[in-house]
Amino acid sequence: MMKLYDAALSGNCHKVRLLLSMLKLEHEVVAMSLPDLDHKTPEHLARNPLGTLPVLEDGDITIYDSQAILVYLARKHGGEDWLPGDAAGQALVQQWLSYAVNEIWNGPALARAFLLFNRDVDLARCQAAGQSALAHLDARLSAHDWLALDRPTIADIACYPYSALAEAGEISLAPYQALNAWFKRIEALPGYVSMPGLGG
């Protein structure tokens, strides 16, 4: 059985929890405490030398980085539904996986981390970057129901948690009508699971 090393308040971990649930995949959850630095212990560093979460173990395969785990699960268990096999489809999904770890992480995610975990970042800069990132998402979603294709993919899973948690970084979601409608579409998907601070 797969094993997920998980922190309940991590949006990156939540991406993986979402896809595991939507794919109905049995797995064991190993709860890790970020404040207690469980992810920095020698035991965890042997799993992931970067000392981050989530980490997925599947037999003799160990994968860290939430985007990499999404790709692995989608390709192994999701068929074409969550990650298309054609070059153009894969590239369109990859654009948004990159967006999740750049624009969204450096904006709403880090603003939330400052206020929730006392992360050493420039809050005003992260909030400004967050507003820009959310505006771009909102513009895309004003013309499309889903980010990459005409159906939900791991692009949507990757970008959802930290966007939906933006108000925990004191970035208002009120201006973004299309983005808020997208949140509701994701929260209505079969297998959706919530986390503290999210709807559904």
For the sheet with 55-58, list strands across it: 27-31, 2-6, 55-58, 61-64
Give the pLDDT of residue 200. Answer: 66
The full set of domains in the chain, from first to last, is: 2-77 (3.40.30.10), 87-187 (1.20.1050.10)
Burial class of 111 by CB neighbour count within 10 A (0 to 12, 13 to 18, 19+) = buried
Give the pLDDT of residue 199. Answer: 76
Q: Would the pTM count as exceeding 0.85? A: yes
Give the pLDDT of residue 16. Answer: 98
Amino acid found at 147: L
- Token pair, residue 101, equals 């770890």
Alpha carbon distance, N-terminus to C-terminus of the chain: 27
Over residues 74-130, the pLDDT tens digits come to 999 999 999 999 999 999 999 999 999 999 999 999 999 999 888 899 999 999 999
